[in-house]
Chain A
Amino acid sequence: HPHQATQMSNYCLNILVFVTLQQRDPMLKRDCFEDILEERRNSSDLKYALRCYAPVLYKGVTPCKANMLKNIVLQSDQLHYVINQVSQESGEAPDIIQEEASVILEEMAHRLQISTVRCFAFALSKAFKTLFQHVCVNEEGIQRLQQAIQEHPVVLLPSHRSYMDFLLMSYILYTYDLALPVIAAGMDFMGMKFVGEMLRMSGAFFIRRSFGGDKLYWAVFSEYVKTMLRNGFAPIEFFLEGTRSRTCKSLTPKLGLLNIVIEPFFKGEVFDVNLVPVSISYERILEESLYARELLGVPKPKESTSGLLKARRILSEDYGSIHVYFGQPVSVRSLAQGKVNRSTYNLFPRHIPRKPMEETQSFVNDTAYRIVRLQEDNMVLKPWVLMASLLLQNLEGLELSVLTEQTVWLRGLALSYAAFLDWPAPTAKVVSSSLALHRGLACVSGDRVSLVVGEPLGPVTPEEALFNRAVSVLSCASYRNQVLHVFLRPAMLAVAMLHLSDEVYNCFSFLWDMFSNDFILCPGDTVQDFEEACYLLVKTGAVQMPQQDIVMTDIGQPTLSFFNGLLEPFLQGYQVVCRYLCEEASEGLTEKQYIPAVRSFAVKLILAGNLRCYEVLSSDMQKNALAALLRMDAVRKVKNRMISHINQTPISPSLSLVAVAEDLYRDGLTPSYIR
């Protein structure tokens, strides 16, 4: 391929890449794990649940009763200010607004009780032992956390893949005698009458999903969180991703709560805030096929206690092991050094709510991305994740021996890209045990391994068959997605290299921009990511960089082709979306109509044999593609004052959509090109 010898833009590799990579990814310094279930299997759960629990607290503060906390919030200057403001605007008496605030707080506040925690400790011990083989925790991380809790207010930021996450977190902290966190939870949990209250008593506080313009709600909420943080009563825990990731890819971070917990530092109310990224990796996710169905448009079941009881069925299955990695605490003070001038907060009373300044906003945004990347870095990857990546590129199935061989190869590649792999046994053994654990997703018939497609009873329509196949592809994809963060940058470079154009960097940068809703790409890091990609591909011998060129080497073919295959579903998905918008979209298409419309467009293509990609049926990909197109101004929202609900805003393609679509379709990127 002579065209692969492409001119590089003016970016050349430098030693800096290596240094930043080492800093971001101290692969050699990852801690060891300890299985906390081991002790549970050998000693009494009851004793464990009733044992003495005396955690060390922030600077030795005395723990604050939930009621006292509420009083502090209700009497704060911050809240009073907003109450008076709302009262003046609405004409209601301040007393009434104050009462409203009190009701909001009542609905929101946690009522952490050690007795409830003990109940959970007991019940979860039982459940975990049935569900999981191991629950592994890095003890050094725990020690660091313990230190951090004493020195500064701590914010725990776990990844979010499952409902289990926050119970698991509290369970671990209880196990290690650490201060129990208070956890920001979505109001939807409140639907489950009894469970909601149980969660509240184990430290959850509930926030409404959306309260856009509600000043009072925002004031109560932010003051509640800040009061807990300032006084260091308990570590605060929330999910940066905002919701469970149905695809197992990290989600673009939400900034609201992060803004709230960082602000006390900027205002000088605390000396520092420590952010602790926590990576929770599940070998097998409890919600696996539930997520796939949800992505395909079967609505998420409403959280209900009876639903939870039905889920008891899952107790009889094996979900492998969980790895929980507590990352290095990140000091907000150090991060902000030289980036945010705190004295700009000097000229405004601290109790008056104020929109964060631009400087602050971009700092918080950067920080959020950084934390999510730290979460990604410390995610433990199971062999199955690699196997799923391979199987998805071979939907027709693979010889077991070939799968094993390629898994070995991919393992080597992943390791050289600093992936955090858990490889408990020799590969052959690991492959067979993974297949056993995930028998719902892959089956071995004869020598051939292929994806399992659930066979419904009775006659099947072509659509139903397609839907079933899509469920297994999407379930499988949720495992492949876990490794994407390791390969993403070199993979985008590999795709860019297949591009006929001379400008590899431009193509890389286009992909980078296009995919930045789907993957965690820190804003402004395009060049750095490009350099990192070059560095990694050179390091593994897949490409050479004589002078200003990037050239594939003889041994680089398998790597580059694997990378192309890895991103293919995403490219195809975005192409389908573009095609739909260019060719089919009707006048006045609303955001609400968009997803079912794209879905049925894709279904038609697949049934007609014109498309082999099932992942485009995922509402997640469709949403991300639309968001990217809106961001790139390829699609615009039609302003219409008559329509108030955001989802009903009509969208219309703009001229540049064609250009974007063309970019996506250019020779190098067409699906037919690959393999």
Chain B
Amino acid sequence: MASNNNSSDRQRIAQQRLSRIAAHLHKHEDGNSGIIAKECKIDATGSTEENKGTVPRKRQEIMKWNGWGYSDSKFLFNKKGQAEFTGKRYRLSGMTLPSLQDWFENTFGASVKHKSPATPVLNASVVPPPRLNEAFVENLKATGIPFSNEAEDRVFRAHGHCLHEIFALREGKKFERVPDMVVWPNCHNDVVKIVELACKHNVCLIPYGGGTSVTSALECPPEETRCIVSLDTSQMNRILWLDENNLVAHVEAGIIGQDLERLLNESGYCTGHEPDSMEFSSLGGWVATRASGMKKNVYGNIEDLVIHIKAVTPRGVIEKSCQGPRTSTGPDIHHFILGSEGTLGVVTEVTMKIRPIPEYQKYGSVVFPKFEAGVACLREVAKQRCAPASIRLMDNKQFHFGHALKPQVSSIFTHFVEGLKKFYITKLKGFDPHQLVVATLLFEGDRERVLQHEKQVYDIAATFGGLAAGEDNGQRGYLLTFVIAYLRDLGMDYCVVAESFETSVPWDRVLDLCQNVKERIIRECKERGVQFQPLTSCRVTQTYDSGACIYFYFAFNYRGLADPVHTYEQVEHAAREEILANGGSLSHHHGVGKLRKEWMKDSISNVGVGMLKSVKEYVDPENIFGNRNLL
């Protein structure tokens, strides 16, 4: 049997490789030694036809202007009060979710009768008129790089997805400051030209990638008097070449996650970098914020994935001269760019590692009687360095949340099986439904090793009282991360505000930090007059040798509050203080932006801040990249 399997596997792989090579040959007859090259298209006019990316220049054509994601996809409570998810894009699309309403009303003390609808369309009168730098505009026109100063384009790039930003959009509040124009460079050289012109005419540039920031990083500083130009990289979305010998791809930094994976998949590869926002976030954004993907255990975080970065700064282009896998050439200049949050320049091209698409993928899940047991298990898995591609531990609240998203079960049989499972876990195994937690797992690799690996992890889990709970539970856990932002929009339709935030912390402090932060949130909400106890939930989303990343959800019903956003911000501020006091970091992967600037000094010391400042001073003395993030 085994040998049969092996030989058929080998056959399959050989076939895959063949078809892949054939595909390459077919597409690029001149392709040599597995390298697929594309020219940078300088001429801008032809770009729309060439552009295979998901994101059009007019983002609002396919995406919501005041909420998350695609315009056609949203949660709503239908006339029967049942929740459904519209559109066709997702696994949940077109399904009704019968338990969501109950969960929603019970968790938040909210009611589907109390709507708080959003302003349907952008009112142009709330947008300040553009302050254009005429000379800059003239020069820009001459380059042929497309730009716009229409209100809709400018507003779309004036925000990320912080609660206060989306809330303001929904309320139709007047904007204090938005970009004065938007430019769409098509390639590295376009960016060089734009940056040169900006320096020449003293124009403020704010790079814009996927727009998924949750740190106020895209907010225009209200005190900025110069013309602000939003530099939208979305049209720089090509894979320029792919090197199968060294397993690297050279990619334009504006490409968004889903396009990058799709295009690489066509060639049989992937990056394995899957942040929760990968549908919309861009490669350049990942670099600029030090992003982390859920499968980092196999593929690494963004800093492990990049081999070469090309970025345009007011001083000129910065890049390394070789693609050596590791160098000892003083402090790594990549690390000035990684996490620079758009304050030093624009990342234009990145060479990053790629891997063949894994042969086999398997989800899994383990139920633990208590959060403590789950954390102990994850710690042990990290200690033995046998973490699967992804391993996450959801607390009890999130477990119930996930369950509320179960679609209507069509067959009586599935219903029966579900009931049986529940009976087994809660009655026979004595797990308290209000205590139990679930770890979701994703294994990748060749089939045999996945199965072996799976057994190893389940064996460890068993020693902590964990019970395997099936693939379905696992997959649903990951689903939650992709639809959570859509769900926030639903909450906001019914007077519930919500946000997430994250940190990283040494293993021995994980439990205490989770508990203290939740308690702090509950207490702060109470003190600030939030009438119904907030939802505070967390999960351990990443494991490292010496610690873990923790992700919090926090939501509350704001009925009766005069200024819900302000209340929310105060509570989040307190929660961050609590995180820091409990040994947590300022951020694991969201970044600092403007939201968490105030803690930078305490986080990296005065000297540290001074170092960063002096780099900024050298690279960008005129503060052309003036989004004022980080420092």
Q: Which residues of A contact B (CB under 8 A)?
A: 268-269, 271, 341-343, 345-346, 349-351
User: Interface SS of chain B: helix, strand, loop or mixed?
Assistant: helix
| Residue numbers in B under 8 Å from A345 (CB-CB) | 583
16 CB contacts below 8 A, A to B, read A268-B512, A268-B513, A268-B516, A268-B582, A271-B515, A271-B516, A271-B519, A271-B520, A342-B582, A343-B580, A343-B581, A343-B583, A345-B583, A346-B583, A350-B508, A351-B508
Decide if B583 touches A268 in the complex (CB within 8 Å): yes
Nearest to B508 among chain A residues (CB) is A350
- Quick check: is B602 within 8 A (CB to CB) of the other chain? yes
Which chain A positions have C-beta within 8 A of B516?
268, 271
Q: Classify chain B's interface size.
A: 10 to 19
Contact A343 B602 (CB under 8 A): yes
Shortest C-beta distance, A517 to chain B (Å), equals: 36
List B residues at the A interface (Cβ < 8 Å).
508-509, 512-513, 515-516, 519-520, 580-583, 602
Give Cα A269–Cα B512 distance, bound, in whole angstroms.
6
Contact A342 B508 (CB under 8 A): no
Measured CB to CB, the closest approach of chain A to B161, in angstroms, equals 29
Measured between beta carbons, the chain A residues less than 8 angstroms from B583 are 268, 343, 345-346
Which of A342, A343, A349, A351 has most chain B Cβ within 10 Å? A343
The residues of B that contact A349 with a CB separation of less than 8 Å are 508
Residue of A nearest to B585 (CB): A346
Q: CA–CA, A271 to B523, complex, Å?
A: 11
**Are the C-beta atoms of B580 and A268 separated by less than 8 Å?**
no
- For the complex, give the distance between the alpha carbons of A351 and B508 in Å: 10
| Closest chain B residue, CB of each to CB of A152 | B519
Contact of B581 among A269, A342, A350, A351 (CB under 8 A): A342
Q: Is the CB of B509 within 8 A of A268?
A: yes
Measured CA separation A451–B519 after assembly (Å): 59
A643 to B: closest C-beta gap in Å = 45
Cα separation A341 to B509 with both chains bound (whole Å): 17
Measured in the bound complex, the distance between the Cα atoms of B583 and A341 in whole Å is: 11
Given the complex of chains A and B, what is the CA–CA distance between A346 and B505 in angstroms?
A: 10
A9 to chain B, nearest CB (A): 39
CB distance from A264 to the nearest CB of B (A): 9
Contact B581 A268 (CB under 8 A): yes
Give the distance in Å from the alpha carbon of A342 to the alpha carbon of B581 in the complex: 5
Give every chain A residue within 8 A of B580 (Cβ-Cβ): 343
- CB nearest neighbor in A for B522: A271
CB-CB under 8 A from A350, the residues of chain B are 508-509
Q: Separation in Å of the A226 CB from the closest CB of chain B?
A: 13
Task: List B contacts of A271 (CB < 8 A).
Answer: 515-516, 519-520
Identity of the chain B residue whose Cβ is nearest the Cβ of A351 in the assembled complex: B508
> In the complex, what's the smallest C-beta–C-beta distance from B263 to chain A, in angstroms?
43
Q: How far is the CA of A346 from the CA of B581 in the complex (A)?
A: 8
Considering only CB atoms, which chain A residue lies closest to B602 in the complex?
Answer: A343
B433 to chain A, nearest CB (A): 16
Q: Name the CB-closest residue of A to B509.
A: A268
Q: Which residues of A contact B602 (CB under 8 A)?
A: 343
Instruction: Compute how far the CA of A410 lies from the CA of B366 in the bound complex, rounded to whole angstroms.
Output: 73
Query: What residue of chain B has the Cβ atom nearest to residue A346's Cβ?
Result: B583
Kindly report which residue of chain B lies nearest to residue A347, judged by CB atoms.
Answer: B583
Chain B contacts for A341, CB-based, 8 A: 581
* CB closest chain-A residue, reference B520: A271
Known: A268-B513, A271-B516, A343-B580. 10 other contacts (CB 8 A): A268-B509, A268-B512, A271-B515, A271-B519, A271-B520, A341-B581, A343-B581, A343-B583, A350-B508, A350-B509
Kindly state the separation between the CA atoms of A48 and B12 in the bound complex, as whole angstroms: 81
Question: Considering the chains assembled together, what is the distance between the CA atoms of A350 and B520 in angstroms?
Answer: 21
> Which residues of A sit under 8 angstroms from B509, Cβ to Cβ?
268, 350
Complex CA gap A350/B581 in Å reads 13
How far apart are B495's CB and chain A's nearest CB, in angstroms? 28
Contact residues in B for A269 (Cβ distance below 8 Å):
512
Residue of A nearest to B511 (CB): A269
Least CB distance, A351 to chain B, in whole angstroms: 8
Q: How far is the CA of A349 from the CA of B547 in the complex (A)?
A: 13
Shortest beta-carbon distance from B531 to chain A in Å:
20
Nearest Cβ on chain A to B132's Cβ, whole angstroms? 46
A343→B602 CA distance, assembly (Å): 9
In Å, the complex CA distance between A350 and B506 comes to 11
CB distance from A130 to the nearest CB of B (A): 47
Q: How far is the CA of A517 from the CA of B54 in the complex (A)?
A: 77
Distance from A601 Cβ to chain B, minimum over Cβ atoms (Å): 55
Nearest first, the 10 A-B pairs at minimum CB distance are A342-B581, A268-B582, A346-B583, A271-B519, A268-B512, A271-B516, A343-B580, A343-B581, A269-B512, A268-B516
When C-beta atoms are compared, the residue in chain A nearest to B512 turns out to be A268
Distance in angstroms between the alpha carbons of A265 and B349 in the assembled complex? 48
Min CB distance, A336 to chain B, in Å?
Answer: 10
CB distance from B395 to the nearest CB of A (A): 16
Name B518's closest neighbour in chain A (CB-CB).
A271
Q: List A contacts of B513 (CB < 8 A).
A: 268
Residues of A within 8 A of B508 (CB): 349-351
Give the CA-CA distance A268 to B513 in the complex, in Å: 7
Chain A residues with CB below 8 A from B520, complex form: 271
Nearest CB on A from B580, distance (A) = 5
Chain A: minimal CB distance from B508 (Å): 6
**What residue of chain A has the Cβ atom nearest to residue B523's Cβ?**
A271
| A346 CB, nearest partner CB in chain B, Å | 4
B582 — which chain A residues lie within 8 A by C-beta? 268, 342
- Closest-by-CB residue of A relative to B599 is A343
Measured CA separation A345–B580 after assembly (Å): 11
The CA-CA distance from A548 to B519 in the complex, in Å, is 51
Cα of A411 to Cα of B493 in the assembled complex, Å:
65
B541 to chain A, nearest CB (A): 20
| In the bound complex, CA of A268 to CA of B584 (Å) | 11
Q: How far is the CA of A257 from the CA of B100 in the complex (A)?
A: 50
Distance, CA A562 to CA B267, complexed state (A): 99
Task: Give A351 to B515 CA distance when docked, in angstroms.
Answer: 19
Question: How many angstroms between the C-alpha atoms of A123 and B580 in the bound complex?
Answer: 52
Instruction: With both chains docked as a complex, state the minimum distance between the C-beta of B250 and any C-beta of chain A, in angstroms.
Output: 40
CA distance A341 to B602 in the complex (A): 11
Report chain A residues within 8 Å CB of B512: 268-269
The smallest C-beta distance from B518 to any residue of chain A, in angstroms, reads 9
Please give the distance in Å from B105's CB to the nearest CB on chain A: 26
